[in-house]
Chains A and B, each alone.
Chain A
Amino acid sequence: MIAALLAAGALLLGRTRGPVVPSPFLTEFLVGSDLPRSATVLRPFLASGAVLACSVVAAVGLVVAARVVGGAAASVSAVLVVLGCLGFSGLLAGLWLVGQSLPRRFTVGLAFVVTVTGATVTVDGTLPFTPWGWIALLWQGLGEPTVWWPALALALSSLALLGVPALLGNLRADEMMAQSRRWQSISALVQTGDVAGASGALRDPPTRGRRRRMPLTGPLLVAIVQRDLIAAGRFPVRIALGSMALVGAGWLTAVTSTMPEGIAWITALAGVSLAYLGVGVWCDGLRNAADNATPGSLYGRSALSMIGSHAVVPVLAAITFGSLGAMGDNNNVAWWMLLAAFIVLVRVLDCAKGPMPIGLLLPIPTPVGDVSILNAIAWQADALLIVLIVAGGLTVQVGAAGPGAAGLEATGLGAALWLAVAGALVAALALRRIRALGR
């Protein structure tokens, strides 16, 4: 399943950041030449493919080596797993290029098929028919009699790379240049500490749904909800992924109470992180309202009123999709609803952040060197840190009470109270930031 998700991810990633992304200058130079594109941009593809292969082999090698040292795997099987994953990395590189070279409609469909076939690996008898199934067979073979044929099949599957010249020839100059420029901007923004700007540059502009009617009727709050929902429909893939992340976050939060003590914090932190990321795709209107909280706003209502109204859709989305994941237990759903409101509050805080104060970049000399970067990192990651510490920490506490109403009554009410206090503090801080933007 993980291998299938990686393959689907590679297909979807290609359109945002493909394997062929030289610097803008090199892109201009290479794509403008009269040589075939399969020759001019082959080197950047090989470089990306090599980085991918090394990363896969390093990650898999580490895990497999640990099992061999622990006596849980035979060395021959371990070598076969590493070789099989090396072959699979070739297939991944090919799929990554497919994502960059072929139309999005095709790659999204293919990613869906890959995910579905990946989900069927638990069905008996389906493993031998897909590359992700071969990976699963190799993995199962670690502690059992050695199976060699999946490694050979995976090695042969990298023959798919024979299609690379055709895919490189199909790359469009304008799209390559757009990716090059975008990633150069992102590098510059990250280097100057503007992570919010960098993540904004990663969001593709809309291309569809422009003729869908946006009523904008009724009271302003209703008009804003209509606006945000219709606008969200213009990013179907992004919204689908974000919503699935919210479902997953709800599920992870719910299962925290069933996890052993040492594992519960992993599911809790993963759940709240996923919720924070997932709800972000519903926050376009919120971000625009925050951008207009400065003097000279386009809008006729106060920044607070606009931001508050634009927070309604993210809260509704988080509650709806997260509750789907937490389905089956009223206490889990109740806790999730509180978490959802808190996480959207933190999103508001993050949207109203404005540019990083230049003072945070001033050098702080210490015996171990300049530690000003720690200030910058803390400033950039403050919202996520708040979510992890407050929402994650309290979810662990609620989970420790165990499933059932008695458990929730014992510790859940206390946790809810603490969450409310933290929410009030976050709201006060957000209000201060919004007022500062208007000055």
Chain B
Amino acid sequence: MSHLEAHAVSVSIDSEMLLAPVSFAVPPGTALAVRGANGSGKTTLLRLLSGHLRPTTGTALLDGRPVDERSRTARRGISARIGLPAFARELTMHEQLRFIATTWGRTGSTATDAADATMRALGIFELRNRFVNELSSGQTQLLAVATALVRPFDVLILDEPEQRLDAHRRDLVAAAVRREIDRGASVVIASHSAELVASIAGATVTLGQP
């Protein structure tokens, strides 16, 4: 399992600061909640931790090495869901998840089992034969979360997974994420939901306006 840490990371473009310097560590089997007002840099921080953005100052490390999505190890280790992904409209929900699992090396029945387990955990198994255009916005959000959970990972990064979800579905997401923490995964989650943060995260970092 992997250890994620950030040392005084900040992001600015020209003279505009998008993320004020922040430091923290997320050991295996723990979760960190990132909180803050709109525009405080939560999504920027998550993009930085997933290796899709380079910090202007400071360093983000995965097991002591700078996080960079060009590294195969980083791509395999970090599963990040920031915004809605590009779904394949010609596949059903179950097929989308099986196909994603297959591309990550879980072939045949292993991929099917992973898709089944993820869908059951998020309460969307009954929707397995639906195409993406047949989902409500909340169901689409659950499918987006499922795409991050169905593949193997050591670090899970989720950006406001509670969006468009009712209280029951938020609880299902929280329970699914807790299972990953219990398995030993490091989790970073940005959220505006106090209940979700309380039920998942052991530590919280609150970003101020940059």
Contact = CB atoms under 8 A, between A and B. Distances in A.
Nearest to B70: A438
Given A205-B131, A296-B82, A298-B147, 7 more contacts: A207-B131, A216-B95, A220-B103, A227-B95, A232-B90, A298-B85, A301-B103
B133 A295 contact: no
Contacts of A206: 89-90, 131
A227 B107 CA distance: 13
Contacts of A298: 85-86, 100, 103, 147
B52 interface: yes
Contact of A300 (B82, B98, B103): B103
Contacts of B89: 205-206, 284
Contact of A227 (B75, B80, B99, B131): B99
A334 interface: no
Interface string A227-241: 100011011000000
B104 A214 contact: no
Nearest to A288: B88
B149 interface: no
B91 interface: yes
29 contacts: A205-B89, A205-B134, A210-B92, A210-B129, A211-B129, A216-B107, A216-B108, A218-B107, A223-B99, A223-B102, A231-B90, A235-B90, A284-B88, A284-B89, A284-B90, A285-B88, A285-B90, A288-B88, A291-B86, A298-B85, A298-B147, A299-B103, A299-B104, A300-B75, A300-B76, A300-B100, A300-B104, A300-B105, A300-B151
A387 B170 CA distance: 51
Contacts, number: 78
A295 B69 contact: yes
Contacts of A234: 90
User: Counting chain A CB atoms within 10 Å of each CB, which of B92, B100, B133 scores highest?
Assistant: B92
B130 interface: yes
Contacts of B9: none
Contact of A214 (B80, B82, B87, B98): B98
A216 B111 contact: yes
A228 to B, nearest CB: 9
B50 interface: yes
Contacts of B131: 205-207, 210
Interface string B51-67: 01000000000000000
Given A220-B102, A223-B102, A299-B100, A231 B107 contact: no
A426 B151 CA distance: 34
Nearest to A292: B86
Interface of A is mostly: loop
A298 B90 CA distance: 15
Interface of B: 50, 52, 69, 75-76, 80, 82-83, 85-92, 95, 98-100, 102-105, 107-108, 111, 129-131, 133-134, 147, 151
B103 A214 contact: no
A307 interface: no
A376 interface: no
Given A220-B102, A298-B147, A227 B86 contact: no
A360 B92 CA distance: 38
A333 interface: no
User: Counting chain B CB atoms within 10 Å of each CB, which of A218, A232, A296 scores highest?
Assistant: A296
B130 A210 contact: yes
Nearest to A218: B107
A227 B95 CA distance: 9
A221 to B, nearest CB: 11
A291 B90 CA distance: 14
A216 B151 CA distance: 15
Interface in A131-182: none
Contacts of A218: 107
A258 interface: no
A296 B98 contact: no
Contacts of B130: 210
Contacts of A210: 92, 129-131
Nearest to A233: B90
A217 interface: yes
Contacts of A306: 103
A206 B88 CA distance: 11
Nearest to B75: A300
Contact of A216 (B83, B86, B98, B134): B98
A154 B83 CA distance: 57
A295 B52 contact: yes
User: Counting chain A CB atoms within 10 Å of each CB, which of B80, B102, B108 scores highest?
Assistant: B102
Interface string A5-32: 0000000000000000000000000000
B114 to A, nearest CB: 12
Given A206-B89, A284-B88, A295-B69, A216 B102 contact: yes
User: Counting chain A CB atoms within 10 Å of each CB, which of B85, B99, B133, B147 scores highest?
Assistant: B99
The 10 closest A-B pairs by CB, nearest first: A300-B104, A291-B86, A231-B90, A205-B133, A299-B103, A295-B52, A300-B103, A288-B88, A210-B129, A298-B85
A285 B131 CA distance: 15
A227 B69 CA distance: 27
A320 B147 CA distance: 35
Nearest to B105: A300
B107 A292 contact: no
Interface string A176-218: 0000000000000000000000000000011100110010111
B86 A217 contact: no
Contacts of A216: 95, 98-99, 102, 107-108, 111
